[in-house]
Structure 1
């Protein structure tokens, strides 16, 4: 193999104003870490760069295609933090021209006032975590913004110069009807974002909702919400390209695409994960220590755990990612993204999937993997074919 997979960068900011009851991400309430009313921004910035320097030898000058700043709530940090961060990142990394750089942001007024500065720092895409526009559901979800602030956040992001915006919206919320879910979705569509992440609430371990489960809609209601919502999105030009993501034509999240296509990504920050391919064919995942204090108070080389992906596990790993995307792809993509020749096991599994009507036979004859409607509906059964091999 001569060409390594595309490379992205993930940056994790672990602090938020308040932990939401459904959230299982690595986030920590900010006021417990503040000194004199401020987060340890400079210390965290320095540690991010030191963290990056440990992983830099593995990527040997490869250009960064996309970057994503997640959390937590990254928009809690000051504009100066991001000016400094990207100035230092530009000195350490090669970047492609016009790289997509996304930041997750809360729609609260405090964060909105910084949008223009974030844009000037080099961030060119915002992902705004709205979740719902309805006061009762926002309260249930533990969100600290209201409907008007959510709408204003989109307006302010436009005024700040952002022409690439994602809105995060949830459905299947406690006691939510089909009409309530569609009302949320209709308002989000009216705000005219380029991208909509529309996904069902799931109850995850180690969350407040797991310890005290709320009353969720029945399965029939969930199915009707999903069916009607996807139809509404398609009617307004938001095509589903991934299980929980819809976008206008040509506005898919490039960072998401690289991730689900099994591309590489550096992960820095407390709790960040990464995936790196070496020229010798080794592929490994990295994960950084989760607690902010532990992250800040240890040498960078003590922060990272590296787990090699065994060659025999690659077919399943690759397909678990690629089949999340609703796009056809060439079987030869495996050679680029898994950085090795396509093994016979994948051919055999695809043949079985065609026989079971999970993959399109006409596309398969041309070396293209195209999931049928049945394959999308029974995705776990399709993936099991690669697990069995």
Structure 2
């Protein structure tokens, strides 16, 4: 178990330099809440109903203005519009948000700017306008190309709309991610293979393939569907890794596959314990200062978020300063998802802790065949990637004895 206190004494670990900074913008509305989704997303209710676009854009800009004091003078390496379904918003709204972002915080040259989009919101002109507004990477929530599985997942689009969405995307963007899921209700290995083969054949730059899990507070958790067992799911994962590799996609993170040089820069920053400012209802932030690392969460309910923004009240619902033990665990929890691991020096740069703080855990993980490490790199083995939870458990902070 991590116990950096014995190494550092009572001194709070200092950071010599701040990590890269990303911006996450949460747009919480979608056409319909999917039965497996545990994100802070809210269905637009009633025929002809619309999200309060103009009011929410104004609130996001206010949110960013309030947050400037924490990130003043820092450059953004990436921007990510997540949700919900951000592509429900007009290109004019996205343009207004990005104009405000560029005014308040400098973007790095060639910064990656991603928008999540779902089939069913795709109109050719709208996506051309998104590109003109400054979006240069699109992430499409396909989930499956199988009509039956899309219906089981409660998706609002069918297989034809999925293909149409990719067709429109390819005409406007040269950096596209497709989100797929596997181990779906009633899915066979052959059906999972058909999905991943189809995704690879479309020539997109990035594919994310997630194992469907039953998350608390979802409809699927209350009424569990019949899912493939662990052995079948593992066979699907192995097949996905082999299929993507044969199409020149590199499996650089547990669920992420990219063509050379097309890894998600925004997600890489998360996984390497970089900083991110989250604005919008329920958005999370992790901000480093020289002497502390702070986590924040914005007010979660959209109506309350809008009300507080209009009244110029604080939008931060919770704030926590990470302890040294939290820093070590959170770094490992993210960075050990990377297939190639990470440079040893990055641990100290991002946490302020010497590697000696986790030496005992590293040695135990290596003895158990879960990772390999030396002075230059720490990397999970194939076994460690398969049993990632077991590997991460070794780095859990010690819980103090109750007296």
Q: TM-score range by the shorter chain?
A: over 0.9
Is 1:228 equivalent to 2:239 in the alignment?
Answer: yes
Is 1:310 equivalent to 2:323 in the alignment?
Answer: yes
Is 1:88 equivalent to 2:100 in the alignment?
Answer: yes
Contact kept? 2:283, 2:297, Cα under 8 Å: yes
Contact kept? 2:112, 2:137, Cα under 8 Å: yes
Closer, same or farther in 2 for the Cα pair 1:373/1:284, shift >3 Å? same
Is 1:202 equivalent to 2:213 in the alignment?
Answer: yes
Contact kept? 1:68, 1:103, Cα under 8 Å: yes
Contact kept? 2:122, 2:165, Cα under 8 Å: no
Q: Which residue in 2 is equivalent to 1:330?
A: 343
Q: Which residue in 2 is equivalent to 1:52?
A: 64
RCO comparison, higher one (Cα < 8 Å, 6+):
2
Q: Which residue in 1 is equivalent to 2:255?
A: 244
**What is the CA-CA distance between 1:225 and the residue it aligns to?**
1.2
Closer, same or farther in 2 for the Cα pair 1:274/1:350, shift >3 Å? same
Contact kept? 2:143, 2:179, Cα under 8 Å: yes
**Cα distance in 2 between the residues matched to 1:207 and 1:98:** 38
**What is the CA-CA distance between 1:265 and the residue it aligns to?**
0.2
Closer, same or farther in 2 for the Cα pair 1:62/1:109, shift >3 Å? closer
Alignment match of 2:379 (pick from 370, 381, 384):
370
Closer, same or farther in 2 for the Cα pair 1:39/1:165, shift >3 Å? same
**Cα distance in 1 between the residues matched to 2:167 and 2:220:** 32
Q: Deviations over 1:237-257 (max 9, x none)?
A: 111111111111111100010
Alignment match of 1:98 (pick from 92, 110, 116):
110
Q: Which residue in 2 is equivalent to 1:273?
A: 284
Is 1:282 equivalent to 2:295 in the alignment?
Answer: no
Q: Which residue in 1 is equivalent to 2:137?
A: 125
**What is the CA-CA distance between 1:301 and the residue it aligns to?**
4.1
Q: Deviations over 1:277-322 (max 9, x none)?
A: 012x210111011111011001454320211111222111111110
Q: Deviations over 1:67-114 (max 9, x none)?
A: 110000000001110111111111111110010000000112545541
Is 1:23 equivalent to 2:5 in the alignment?
Answer: no
Alignment match of 2:25 (pick from 1, 5, 11):
11
RMSD of Structure 2 on Structure 1 (CA): 1.7
**What is the SS of the residue equivalent to 1:66?**
strand
Q: Which runs of 4+ in 1 moved over 6 A?
A: none
Alignment match of 1:293 (pick from 300, 303, 308):
303
When the two structures are superposed, what TM-score results if normalisation uses the length of structure 1?
0.94
**Cα distance in 2 between the residues matched to 1:387 and 1:218:** 28
Q: Deviations over 1:172-201 (max 9, x none)?
A: 000000011111111111111100011111
**What is the SS of the residue equivalent to 1:31?**
coil
**What is the SS of the residue equivalent to 2:228?**
coil
Written as runs of structure 1 = structure 2, the 5 A alignment for 1:120-199 is: 120-160=132-172, 162-199=173-210
Gaps of 5+ in 2: 1-14, 399-403
Q: Which residue in 2 is equivalent to 1:218?
A: 229
**Cα distance in 2 between the residues matched to 1:388 and 1:341:** 14
**What is the CA-CA distance between 1:272 and the residue it aligns to?**
0.5
**What is the SS of the residue equivalent to 2:338?**
coil
Q: Which residue in 2 is equivalent to 1:358?
A: 370
**Cα distance in 2 between the residues matched to 1:27 and 1:112:** 25
Contact kept? 1:345, 1:386, Cα under 8 Å: no
Aligned residues: 381
**Cα distance in 2 between the residues matched to 1:230 and 1:112:** 32
Closer, same or farther in 2 for the Cα pair 1:112/1:150, shift >3 Å? farther
**Cα distance in 1 between the residues matched to 2:121 and 2:115:** 16
